[in-house]
Structure 1
Amino acid sequence: MNSPEAPLMFSQLPQPLRYAQALLEHFSRLAGLTDSRRLCQGLVESASQLTGCELSQLYLLDDTHTQLTLAAEWHENNWQIREQAGLPSDYHREQLLQYCLCQNQILAIDTLDSSLHDTAFLPDSATPWRTLLCLPLLSEARHVLGVLLTASTQSLRLGNFADSLGLLGNFTVSQLGLLQRVDTVPAPATAEPAPDRPCPSGYGLIGNSPAMRTLYQLLGKVLHNPVNVLLTGETGTGKELVARAIHDYGFRRTRPFVVQNCASLPENLLESEMFGYRKGAFSGADRDHTGLLDAADTGTLFLDEIGDMPLSLQAKLLRVLQEGEVRPLGSTDTHKVDVRIIAATHRDLKLLVEAGTFREDLYYRLAHFPIELPPLQERGQDILQLARHFAEQACVFLQRPLCRWSQAAESQLLGYPFPGNVRELKGVVERAILLCDGNELLPEHFSLEDAADTSRNLRERLEQVERNLLIESLRRNQGNQTSAATELGLPRRTLLYRMQRLNICAADIRSREKADARQ
C-alpha cells in the first residue's frame, strides 16, 4: 500500500485494507486456474463477492470480433447457463453493453431506470435492478476483448470498484489468452460461427441489397482486428465512407482518422506531407513539420488512390508497414508509430504490378484483407434509398420542404446505369432539387437523357411501361385527366406534360372507350 496510486484506487471504499486483501486473494485464486471455463466462472464469482452484487456477467468477443458471447454468469450465488448466449457486436437493443464495448468507456449507473435503459440482457428479477457497472476488458495492446458486468437490486456505488475490477478482469482475459496459446484446452464447439447468424448491417452506410449485406459481413471481420485493408471498386462507390466506417466502428474509434489522396500532390510534396520533415531539410523548411503518419499515430491513415503513389515513396511506405518505423525528411533517426493503413484504389493493382509501376511486396502488404465495393447498378433498390437520402439532405440545406418522388422519376433512376456510381447519383439528385419548382420530383428534373447508347433500349422500355400506365389510368377514368392525375398522385399539369411527351391523346382514349362500350 506504499504506492501513491493504491490509496486512490481504494479511497472511496469503506474498508480499503480489507478490500485490498480480498482482492489479492482473488488474484491468487484465479492465477491458479488452468481451465478456461473455470477461469471465466471464477472471475464473475469474484466480481460478485467483491462488490456485493447479486449478478455478475462476463461477455467475450469471438476470434473475428463480430459476436459477443456470454461466457459466464453468476446470479444469486450460483453459476447460470443461458441458451441464447451470443449477440452480434453491432447489436442495437443492448445499448448499454454496446456503449461500453464500442466506446471503450466504463459505464456506472447508480439509478437504473428500465423505462430509460434497455436491460433485456439482464436476467429476470423479482426486484428491479437498480445499479449497474460495465467495464471494458482490454488486451496488453489496449484492444477491447470483452465486457465485465455487475448489477444489483440495491443502491450501491459500483463506480468505486471500477479500477480494481478492471485490473482483475484484464488479468483474467490475459490468462485466457495464455491458455489458448498453449492449447491446454480444446476450442469449444460454440467457437464455430452460427450458420444462421443474422448479417450485421449499418456501420453508418446506406443500403440493404445483397451486395451491401455481403459488404457489411466483411466489415464486421476487420472492425476489431488490426489488419491492413485494401478497398477496391469503381470510382464513386464510396471507398472513403467505408474506410471511415471501419475506423468509427472499430477499436481505434477514439483515435485520429487521417485522409490523404495520393494523386493530389506531386511526389516530393506527398513525401514531406506523409513522413514530415526537420528544419533545414530543404529550402523553405524553416521549422519541424509533423507528417501524416505521426498525426495518425494510434489511429488510422486512409490512403486514397494508392495506385498513383510514386515508386520511390512506395518503398518508404513498405518499411512503415513492415517495421512500424518513420524517418522524417532531413533526419537520421527513426521512431515507431502505430498506424492502421486503409488503402483504396479504382485501378487494378495486379496489372500495375505486372507493368512494374507498383511494388509487388507492397501490394501483398496492403492486401491483407481486400474488400471490393459493388457498383451502384448492382445494388437494386438501394438506388432509391440513396436518392431519397440525398434529396432530404439537399432540401434541408436549401431550407425548403421535402420533395415527393413520382413513380416515373424513380423508374428513370432505376433504369439508368450510373457510370459515376453513388457520386454521380448524389450530383444528379442535388441538381434535380434545384430544378424542381414545385414539390414533386419528375423525370424532366433529372439530366439523364444523355445516357450511353447501351442504355437506350432500356430507357425506351421504361418509357413504354410509363406510357401503358398512363393509358390504363385514363381508360379507367373514361379519359378524365383530372381523375387520372389524382389516381396517379400527379399534378394535372404534370400528367398533361407526360401525355404530350409520350404522344398520348385524350380524344383517342375516349373514342376507344366508346368503341369498347358498343361492342
Structure 2
Amino acid sequence: MLANLKQPLVYAEALVEQFSGLSRAADGDELLGDFLRGVTQLSGCELAQLYLLDPTHNALGLNSECLDGILQPRAGSSLQADYSDRALLHFALRQNRVVCLGSLSDSLHDTDFLPFQPRPWQSLLCVPLLNQRKAVEGLVLCASHRSIELQGFAGSLGQLGAFALRQTQLLQRLRQPGGNTRPVPVSIPNASGYGLIGKSPAMRRTYSLINKVVHSPYTVLLLGETGTGKEVVARAIHAAGPRRTQAFIVQNCAAFAETLLESELFGYRKGAFTGADRDRPGLFDAANGGTLFLDEVGDMPLSMQAKLLRVLQEGEIRPLGCNDTHKVDVRIVAATHRDLSLLVSEGKFREDLYYRLAQFPIELPALRQREGDILDLARYFADKACALLQRDAVLWSDAALGHLAAYTFPGNVRELKAMVERALLLCDGGELLPGHFCLPMDLHAEDKSLHLRERLARFERNLMIDCLRKNHGNQTRTARELGLPRRTLLYRLGRLNICAGDLDG
C-alpha cells in the first residue's frame, strides 16, 4: 500500500500517528476535523473535503472542508440524490472507484464543487469510504494547486477515513441518552430517485416503502398483478442500496423443473449426476455480495421451498453432490402475482417460508390504480421505441391520449409498453392517433374501482362516439338519433372531451 511513496517509512509513522490521534478524540465533529487536517498533511494537498451520505442514503452532503490548514464547516450543503450535476463524485460513489486526476486544468471534468481560488486546481484524488459491510458511506477528496502524484495515497487515506467514520459513530452512540432517541426524518423520494416513472399517490406510497427498506438487509416480497413491473422495482432496490456495485441475478422459479431449479440455484459438483463433468457454481454463488431476484416464487416446488428456507435462515448452501455447506451473503428479493396466504391455506406453500419471505412486503399498484401515470409511461415508452427504431420522435394527438386514459389495462405496464410499440410500427406519419391503438371495446369501463358517476360518464362517452361514427360525424343526425337538442349534444361533446380524432378509432 505504501510501496509507491517516496519515503514509505516516514509516511507510515505519520499515518500511525494519525490513527492514534483519531482514536483519542472525544467529540465526533472534532474527530472529523482532525481527520481532514491529517489528510492534507499526509498528502501534501492544500484542500481536503469530506462528503457523507445522509441517513436515508438519498443525498450526498459536503460535511466539512479543510483549506490551507483551516477547517471550514460546510454542514447543510447538499447535492441531489442522483448526483447528475457532479459526474466525478457520482462515478466514485456509485462505482466504488478511486478517481485520481493529475492535470485538472487540461481535463473536461466539472470540478465546481472545489472552492474557487486565484490559482487553478491541478491535482485531485477522490477515495470512497467503506463501512464494515463494504458499502460506500461517503467520499474523502483532496486537491492541490501543484501537479503531483496522489494515487499512492488512496489506500491509506481510504482506511483512515473508514476508521474515522467508525469512531464518529461510536462516539455518537456513547453520547446518545438511553430511551431518548429521535427518529431520522425520511423524505419521500420522487420518481427519478429510483429510476421509476409515476407521480400518482399509489406510486408515491410505493416509493416511500422502498425508501424504508432499500438500505436494510431484510428480504423484500413484491406482490401485485402480472405486468406491474416487479423486476423493475427489484432492480431499483438493488441499484439504490449498498449492494449496487455487486451482481444482480434474476431467476424465474416457474421456468425450470424442480431438479433443474435446484442445480441452477445451488450449483453442483463434478459427478453429481450424468453429464456433470465439472464443478458449476449456482446463482447464489454468482450473487454473493449482491442481490438475487426470485421471480414467481409462488410456483416453486415444496421440496425446493424447504431448501430456500434454510438459505434464508442460515445463510449457507450445499451444492448438489457435495456433503459440505458454505456461507453466502445474498439479499433476496422475491416476487409473485399469486396470493401466497391462500396457497399456504391450501398446503401448496410453506407457512414458515411465507413469513420469512414476507419480512417486508410491497404491494405494487395496478396501472388502473395509478391515476395520471398512464400518459407519462406511454410517452416514455414511445421515446425509447423511437430511439431504438432510429426514427424521429412522434407527437401525441389528444384523442390518442384520451383513448389510452379510458382503458383499464388488465395487462398493466407490460401491456401498455407492447401497445405503444405496436402503435409506433403502425404509425406512418409523425402523430399517434386512436386508430394506431387496438383496444378491445368490451374491456372498456370494467374498472370496478370507479364510482357510479365515473362509470356513467364513460358509458355516455362511448355511446356518443359510437353514434357519431355510425352517422359519419354528422352531429345533427346524431342528436336526432339520441333524442337530444343539437345544442345539448354540443355541450355534452365538449364536457366529455370528444373530438374528431376520437372517431378514427
Structure 1-normalised TM-score? Answer: 0.81
Q: Does 1:219 align with 2:210?
A: yes
Alignment CA distance shift 1:312-1:388 (3 Å): same
The match for 2:323 is: 332
Matched AA of 2:266: F
Match of 2:261 among 270, 277, 280: 270
Alignment CA distance shift 1:163-1:68 (3 Å): same
The match for 2:439 is: 448
Residue aligned with 1:201, SS: helix
Matched AA of 1:386: L
Deviation at 1:28, TM superposition (A): 1.3
Matched AA of 1:77: G
Instruction: Show the 5 A alignment for 1:75-90.
Output: 75-90=67-82
| In structure 2, C-alpha distance between the alignment counterparts of 1:97 and 1:218, rounded to whole Å | 27
| In structure 1, C-alpha distance between the alignment counterparts of 2:9 and 2:224, rounded to whole Å | 61
Alignment CA distance shift 1:83-1:282 (3 Å): closer
Q: Does 1:155 align with 2:153?
A: no
The match for 1:130 is: 122
Instruction: Show the 5 A alignment for 1:180-219.
Output: 180=172, 183-185=174-176, 193-194=184-185, 199=190, 201-219=192-210
Percent of residue pairs bearing the same amino acid type: 56
1:497-518 residue CA offsets vs partner (Å, 9 max, x unmatched)? x975674228889xx99xxxxx
Match of 2:91 among 73, 94, 99: 99
Deviation at 1:122, TM superposition (A): 3.3
The match for 2:223 is: 232
Matched AA of 2:139: V
Greater alpha carbon shift after TM alignment, 150-159 vs 305-314: 150-159
The match for 1:322 is: 313
Whether the 8 Å contact between 2:64 and 2:72 is mirrored in structure 1 is yes
Q: Does 1:66 align with 2:47?
A: no
Greater alpha carbon shift after TM alignment, 277-286 vs 328-337: 277-286
Count of aligned positions: 471
| In structure 1, C-alpha distance between the alignment counterparts of 2:305 and 2:44, rounded to whole Å | 57
The match for 2:474 is: 505
Matched AA of 1:209: S
Instruction: Show the 5 A alignment for 1:281-320.
Output: 281-320=272-311
The match for 2:40 is: 48
Residue aligned with 1:248, SS: helix
Alignment CA distance shift 1:508-1:350 (3 Å): closer
Alignment CA distance shift 1:166-1:453 (3 Å): closer
1:204-252 residue CA offsets vs partner (Å, 9 max, x unmatched)? 3333334334433433444443332211121101111111222233332
| In structure 1, C-alpha distance between the alignment counterparts of 2:61 and 2:315, rounded to whole Å | 33
Instruction: Show the 5 A alignment for 1:385-404.
Output: 385-404=376-395
Match of 2:8 among 10, 16, 21: 16
Matched AA of 1:314: Q
Matched AA of 1:504: G
Q: Does 1:145 align with 2:114?
A: no
Deviation at 1:111, TM superposition (A): 2.8
1:53-99 residue CA offsets vs partner (Å, 9 max, x unmatched)? 23222222344333334333222322222352344543322322222
Deviation at 1:25, TM superposition (A): 1.2
Whether the 8 Å contact between 2:228 and 2:412 is mirrored in structure 1 is yes
Whether the 8 Å contact between 1:65 and 1:221 is mirrored in structure 2 is no
The match for 1:488 is: none
CA-based RMSD of the aligned residues comes to: 3.2
Deviation at 1:317, TM superposition (A): 0.8
Whether the 8 Å contact between 1:416 and 1:451 is mirrored in structure 2 is no
Deviation at 1:342, TM superposition (A): 0.9
Residue aligned with 2:281, SS: coil
Alignment CA distance shift 1:162-1:398 (3 Å): closer
The match for 1:27 is: 19
Deviation at 1:464, TM superposition (A): 7.6
| In structure 1, C-alpha distance between the alignment counterparts of 2:135 and 2:13, rounded to whole Å | 29
Whether the 8 Å contact between 2:191 and 2:199 is mirrored in structure 1 is no
| In structure 1, C-alpha distance between the alignment counterparts of 2:190 and 2:97, rounded to whole Å | 26
Whether the 8 Å contact between 2:190 and 2:199 is mirrored in structure 1 is no
| In structure 2, C-alpha distance between the alignment counterparts of 1:157 and 1:17, rounded to whole Å | 18
Q: Which runs of 5 or more residues in structure 1 are unaligned?
A: 1-5, 468-497, 514-519
The match for 1:479 is: none
Deviation at 1:130, TM superposition (A): 3.2
Greater alpha carbon shift after TM alignment, 302-311 vs 88-97: 88-97
